[in-house]
């Protein structure tokens, strides 16, 4: 009997909430029943409450489609109910009907712009970065209506911090700390926003306040250590050590604290203190290979490459063959432009490492970057012999042959790769481009056509073929169509936009050419060829001063080894000056 009373009380509360908040006047309570006690089918006698509770039962069973239908019926019975509409939005969202849910939430906010519950459900739907601007407006509105909504402060503050609006973040979190003086999160984020503004003394005060309110936290202690190390580490030595001690007292196996503490002792020439910690980390790494990812996050992800080199080198003493350590040491040295060291460590990475192929390619590029193209080729050739079916190595090796102007060798290699992988469009495109460089233009055209037949949406091939036609001054209408198709796929691509402008130039439609070439130049930041095309079009439209200025931009961006290109642009500049344009 007691259980029945509780159930009836619960039912009456639910129904009462719906009625009190948002049912239409005159709505009938209860559940009309048929002769056998089942729900009656006379929809005229059914209430919004009935359909709402039916939707709840269906939703709990996982039948969301039927729950949606029941809520639709409830809304039809009570079209003024925001409560029911919010339930419908939640049900749509659970079914991943995001667009419908979002549209309904926006309409609901338009109808009742001061309803905080409506605004909150819209916030939950608009939490992706693409909605940041809208989201900040909505959150500001919620704070106006409900100035004690903690989660709204945090969401809005995060948007401001992520978008670099540090002044707004500081103002917001200052307000939050005033409204919630005993809420540790408010003081932590106020400290963060003060740090962004470089106000370290005030940030320190806020982080200390955070710990006063919540002593078990670790992150504020790291922030305090960062402050002490960034100001006067010598004077703050005891504070720094005390901070690490406190963190390790709370979390004895905190990897970041151990890495940082060992590094601190190392930098202070306290090897008797640093070595045991590094040794402990090295031994732990043997049992837990994932430990290294903590160090990667602490040092490499934050671009602390010098620190990464110190830490990984010291830990590696315990296990010199550790392939993970060798890989990340290579990566850190590469980031520091220590080419020889990077190669040295990359060469120690074994084939079982998940990044082994990336390591091979990195070594080849490092050899090339230090001016040793022959060694890069030898290295890739060796690995090609070991793995002749590896398409990636074939592709990169062909690119190196191309750079070395060994076009025949590159084409032979790519054709061999295509026999193994005839549908590989990457190899096909590269083959066509090298055929073009080798002067085999018709072969290039045939290859690009074959590629497009295999992949009609290959924007690069469409553009390449269209631009080739334009350069040859043939099939200009077909070229236009090809490039338009490419631009539909990549509408913001500067090179494809340039191709479209260049086709119009070849068609002698110079005003259209200028329109697209100006757009391409802006997108590409006046890349040399694109800027030169635009300048040519300016000349044709009589805009000689603009042409001269644009040729100069093209020349400024030209690569030193493109001597023919530089010579041609200089000749065009001289010609304009000889004609009296921009004599100065």
* pLDDT reading at 294 higher than 80: yes
Average pLDDT of span 190-205: 95
Cβ neighbors of 192 (< 8 A, separation 6 or more) are 161, 173, 203, 223
Q: For the chain, give the percent of residues with pLDDT over 70.
A: 90
| Structure confidence at residue 67 (pLDDT) | 87
| 25 pLDDT higher than 50 | no
Q: Has residue 337 got a pLDDT over 90?
A: yes
Please report the pLDDT score of residue 6 as a whole number: 36
Return the ∠ at Cα 145 (arms to 190 and 185), rounded to 5°: 20
Q: Could you give the CA distance from residue 62 to residue 57 in angstroms, rounded to a whole number?
A: 9
Name the band, by pLDDT with cuts 50, 70 and 90, for residue 39.
Answer: very low
pLDDT of residue 495: 97
pLDDT above 90 covers a percentage of the chain that reads: 65
Dist CA 389 CA 363 (whole Å): 20
Give the mean pLDDT of 22-45.
Answer: 41
- The CA distance from 243 to 271, in Å, is 20
- Report pLDDT digits (tens) over 63-76: 989 988 989 888 88
Compute CA distances 281 → 246, 294, 541, whole Å.
19, 11, 69
- In sequence order, the 6+-apart residues with CB closer than 8 A to the CB of 133 are none
Tokens of 181: 């003086």
pLDDT at 239 over 60: yes
**435 pLDDT higher than 50:** yes
Residues facing 39 on adjacent strands: 33
pLDDT of 208 reads: 97
Per residue in 113-138, pLDDT (tens digit) is 877 777 777 777 776 544 455 677 77
Average pLDDT over residues 322-331: 95
Give the C-alpha separation, 374 to 320, whole Å.
30
Are 86 and 18 within 8 A, CB to CB?
A: no
DSSP code of residue 129: G
Can you give the pLDDT at residue 128?
A: 52
Quick: pLDDT tens for 457-492: 999 999 999 999 999 999 999 999 999 999 999 999
Using CA atoms, how far apart are residues 281 and 260, in angstroms rounded to an integer? Answer: 12
Inform me whether the pLDDT recorded for 296 exceeds 90.
Answer: yes
More confident residue, 466 or 18: 466
Domains of the chain: 12-29+43-125 (1.25.40.10), 147-252 (1.25.40.10), 472-584 (1.25.40.10)
Q: Please tell me the distance from the alpha carbon of residue 162 to that of residue 175, in angstroms, as a whole number.
A: 19
For residue 493, report the phi and psi dihedrals to the nearest 5 degrees. Answer: -85, 120
In three-state form (DSSP H/G/I as H, E/B as E, the rest C), the secondary structure along 303-345 is: CCHHHHHHHHHHHHCCCCCCHHHHHHHHHHHHHCCCHHHHHHH
Question: Does residue 473 come out as left (phi exceeding 0), alpha (psi in the -120 to 50 range) or beta?
Answer: left
Please check the confidence at residue 561 and state whether its pLDDT lies above 80.
Answer: no
User: In degrees rounded to 5, what are phi and psi of residue 39?
Assistant: -65, 135
Distance CA 340, CA 556 (A): 32
Nearest to 400, CA basis, from 413, 389, 385: 413
Give the pLDDT of residue 164.
83
Q: What is the pLDDT of residues 369-424, one digit of tens each?
A: 998 989 999 999 999 999 999 999 999 999 999 999 999 999 999 999 999 999 99
The span from the CA of 462 to the CA of 485, in Å, is 7
pLDDT surpasses 50 at 23: no
Would the CA dihedral through 409, 413, 419, 421 be positive or negative?
Answer: negative
Query: At 21, is the pLDDT very low, low, confident or very high (cuts 50, 70, 90)?
Result: very low
Does 20 have pLDDT greater than 50?
no
- Geometric angle at alpha carbon 69, from 67 and 70, rounded to 5°: 65
């Amino acid at each position: 009997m007691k259980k029945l009373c509780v159930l009836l009380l619960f039912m009456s509360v639910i129904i009462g909430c719906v009625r009190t908040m948002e049912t239409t006047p005159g709505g009938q309570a209860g559940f009309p029943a048929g002769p056998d006690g089942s729900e009656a089918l006379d929809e005229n006698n059914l209430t919004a409450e009935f359909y709402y509770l039916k939707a709840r039962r269906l939703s709990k069973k996982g039948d969301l489609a039927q729950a949606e239908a029941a809520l639709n019926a409830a809304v039809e019975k009570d079209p003024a109910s925001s409560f029911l509409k919010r339930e419908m939005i939640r049900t749509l969202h659970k079914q991943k009907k995001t667009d419908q849910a979002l549209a309904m939430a926006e309409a609901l906010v338009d109808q009742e712009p001061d309803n905080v519950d409506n605004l909150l459900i819209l916030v939950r739907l608009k939490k992706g970065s693409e909605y940041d601007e809208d989201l900040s407006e909505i959150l500001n509105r919620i704070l106006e209506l409900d100035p004690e909504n903690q989660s709204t402060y945090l969401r809005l503050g995060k948007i401001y911090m992520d978008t670099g609006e540090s002044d707004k973040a500081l103002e917001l979190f200052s307000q939050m700390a005033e409204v919630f003086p005993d809420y540790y999160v408010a003081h932590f984020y106020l400290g963060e926003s003060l740090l962004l503004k470089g106000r370290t003394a005030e940030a320190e005060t806020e982080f200390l306040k955070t710990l006063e309110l919540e002593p078990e936290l670790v992150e504020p202690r790291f922030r305090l250590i960062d402050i002490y190390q960034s100001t006067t580490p010598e004077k703050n030595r005891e504070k720094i050590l005390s901070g690490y001690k406190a963190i390790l007292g709370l979390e004895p196996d905190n990897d970041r604290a151990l890495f940082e503490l060992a590094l601190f002792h190392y930098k202070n020439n306290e090897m008797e203190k640093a070595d045991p910690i590094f040794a402990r980390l090295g031994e732990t790494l043997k049992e837990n290979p994932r430990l290294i990812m903590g160090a990667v996050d602490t040092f490499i992800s934050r671009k602390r490459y010098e620190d990464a080199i110190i830490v990984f080198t010291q830990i590696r003493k315990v296990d010199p063959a550790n392939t993970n350590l060798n890989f990340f040491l290579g990566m850190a040295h590469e980031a520091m432009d220590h080419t020889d060291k990077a190669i040295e460590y990359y060469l120690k990475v074994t084939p079982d490492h998940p990044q082994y192929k990336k390591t091979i390619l990195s070594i080849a590029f490092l050899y090339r970057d230090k001016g040793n193209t022959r060694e890069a080729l030898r290295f890739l050739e060796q690995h090609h012999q070991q793995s002749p079916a590896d398409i990636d190595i074939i592709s990169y090796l062909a690119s190196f042959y191309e750079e070395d102007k060994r076009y025949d060798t590159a084409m032979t290699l790519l054709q061999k790769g295509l026999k193994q992988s005839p549908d590989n469009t990457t190899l096909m495109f590269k083959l066509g481009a090298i055929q073009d460089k080798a002067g085999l233009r018709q072969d290039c055209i045939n290859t690009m056509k074959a590629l497009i037949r295999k992949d009609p949406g290959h924007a690069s091939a469409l553009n390449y073929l269209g631009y080739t036609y334009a350069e040859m001054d043939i099939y200009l209408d077909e070229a236009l169509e090809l490039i338009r198709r490419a631009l539909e796929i990549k509408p913001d691509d500067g090179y494809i936009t340039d191709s479209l402008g260049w086709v119009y130039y070849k068609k002698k439609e110079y005003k259209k050419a200028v329109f697209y070439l100006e757009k391409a130049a802006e997108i590409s930041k006046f890349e040399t060829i694109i800027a030169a095309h635009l300048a040519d079009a300016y000349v044709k439209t009589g805009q000689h001063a603009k042409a001269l200025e644009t040729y100069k931009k093209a020349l400024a961006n030209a690569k030193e080894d493109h001597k023919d290109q530089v010579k041609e642009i200089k000749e065009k500049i001289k010609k304009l000056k000889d004609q009296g344009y921009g004599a100065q």
